[in-house]
């Protein structure tokens, strides 16, 4: 029973289920197993599956061909789709935006950047845990001073965080390193302070140096990174943010939004602290 081979997992699954009763004995064994444990079909090899199910390897190829595929490998790709969907891969979520890179009309580019920004925001919602935000916001609310630390492409996000903290009357200090004052500025950090660092690859060395210093001095530390790496992995709270990129320009929307939420949550906690009779609403 041929016809075009199903291209999506759901279609394939329906097809297997509906034909099951018409299959030969061996093929039916295989069908049942495919419905029962699709992950095995996605990840294991023909020989292994055959042994598990108790059929000959060739039976598995016949099974795939029965549903219109050229062989097992082709069918396996459909099973793998399902796994990729379950653990969404960066390539799927974000990289695709870079695919048709040739078009360079302005409106097309704008559309792609906007899509990239939206993808980043949605990903932020899926991957960032509110508990972590609360933890970091708690540190910030209790801090004597909040030092915000970033260079180059992430600097705008740091400026935004510092601005909003200041607006909420929290003692924020933006490390700008202007005039080679970085070392003096570093000396301001103490154990009652919180240091928030934002660093995306390829990170600036000075950001890493100052952050390491903060760790040594026993300050509370919060890191926002794209890829976890030393010294940021040693922070008290580490946020991993995936920003979509188009033609090697990375968006900042997710990072900016995270900074804003952090500031506001910290502001809330801080207000509760100074007015203890306030209740959460």
Start-end of H helices in the chain:
9-19, 25-36, 38-43, 46-53, 57-66, 72-86, 90-93, 106-127, 130-142, 155-167, 182-186, 205-216, 253-274
| Closest approach of DNA to the CB of residue 120, in Å | 30
**# residues contacting DNA (CB under 7 A):** 23
Task: Please state, in angstroms and rounded to a whole number, the distance separating the CA atoms of residues 162 and 245.
Answer: 25
Task: Please state, in angstroms and rounded to a whole number, the distance separating the CA atoms of residues 227 and 213.
Answer: 20
| Closest approach of DNA to the CB of residue 101, in Å | 23
Query: Which stretch, 50-58, 80-88, 128-136, 193-201, contacts DNA (CB under 7 A)?
Result: 50-58
Exactly one of 45, 85, 181, 188 binds DNA (CB under 7 A); which one? Answer: 45
Task: Please state, in angstroms and rounded to a whole number, the distance separating the CA atoms of residues 200 and 221.
Answer: 17
Q: Does 83 bind DNA (CB under 7 A)?
A: no
Q: Does 200 bind DNA (CB under 7 A)?
A: no
Exactly one of 65, 145, 185, 245 binds DNA (CB under 7 A); which one? Answer: 65
* Shorter beta-carbon distance to DNA: residue 64 or 141: 64
* Shorter beta-carbon distance to DNA: residue 59 or 157: 59
Q: Helix axis angle, 25-36 relative to 57-66, nearest 10°?
A: 80
Exactly one of 31, 34, 42, 55 binds DNA (CB under 7 A); which one? Answer: 55
**How many CB atoms within 10 Å of residue 261?**
16
Exactly one of 6, 15, 16, 27 binds DNA (CB under 7 A); which one? Answer: 27
Contact 191, 215 (CB under 8 A): no
Q: Does 110 bind DNA (CB under 7 A)?
A: no
| Closest approach of a second copy to the CB of residue 25, in Å | 11
Give the phi and the psi of residue 95 in degrees, each rounded to 5: -65, -35
* Shorter beta-carbon distance to DNA: residue 64 or 150: 64
Write each residue from 132 to 171 as x if it is in contact with DNA (CB under 7 A), else as -, in one continuous string. ----------------------------------------
Q: Does 62 bind DNA (CB under 7 A)?
A: yes
Task: Please state, in angstroms and rounded to a whole number, the distance separating the CA atoms of residues 123 and 110.
Answer: 20
Q: Does 253 bind DNA (CB under 7 A)?
A: no
Task: Collapse the DSSP code of 77 into the 3-class scheme (helix H, G, I; strand E, B; otherwise coil) and give the result.
Answer: helix
| Closest approach of a second copy to the CB of residue 80, in Å | 5
Q: Helix axis angle, 72-86 relative to 9-19, nearest 10°?
A: 120
* Shorter beta-carbon distance to DNA: residue 22 or 131: 22
**Could you tell me which of 213, 260, 257, 20 has the C-alpha nearest to residue 118?**
257
Q: Which residues bind DNA (CB under 7 A)?
A: 24-27, 45-48, 55-59, 61-62, 64-65, 70-74, 76
């Amino acid at each position: 029973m041929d016809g075009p081979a199903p291209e999506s997992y759901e279609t394939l699954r329906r097809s297997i289920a509906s034909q099951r009763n018409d299959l030969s004995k061996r093929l039916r064994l295989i069908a049942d197993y495919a419905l029962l444990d699709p992950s095995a079909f996605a990840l294991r090899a023909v020989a292994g599956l055959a042994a598990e199910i108790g059929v000959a390897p060739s039976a598995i190829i016949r099974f795939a061909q029965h549903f219109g595929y050229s062989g097992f490998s082709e069918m396996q790709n459909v099973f793998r789709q399902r796994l990729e969907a379950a653990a969404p891969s960066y390539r799927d979520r974000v990289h695709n935006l870079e695919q048709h890179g040739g078009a360079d009309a302005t409106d097309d580019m704008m559309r792609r950047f906007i899509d990239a920004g939206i993808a980043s925001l949605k990903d932020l919602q899926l991957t960032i845990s509110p508990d972590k935000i609360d933890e970091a916001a708690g540190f910030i609310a209790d801090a004597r001073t909040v030092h915000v630390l970033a260079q180059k492409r992430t600097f705008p996000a740091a400026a935004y965080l510092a601005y909003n903290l200041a607006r909420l009357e929290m003692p924020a200090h933006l490390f700008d390193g202007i005039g080679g004052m970085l070392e003096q500025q570093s000396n301001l950090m103490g154990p009652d302070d919180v240091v928030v660092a934002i660093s995306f690859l390829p990170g600036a060395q000075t950001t890493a140096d100052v952050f390491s210093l903060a760790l040594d001095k026993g300050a509370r530390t919060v890191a926002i990174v794209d890829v976890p790496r030393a010294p940021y992995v040693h922070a008290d709270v580490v946020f991993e943010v995936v920003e979509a990129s188009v033609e090697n320009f990375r968006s900042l929307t997710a990072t900016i939004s995270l900074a804003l939420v952090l500031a506001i949550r910290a502001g809330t906690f801080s207000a509760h602290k100074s007015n203890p009779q306030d209740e959460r609403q």
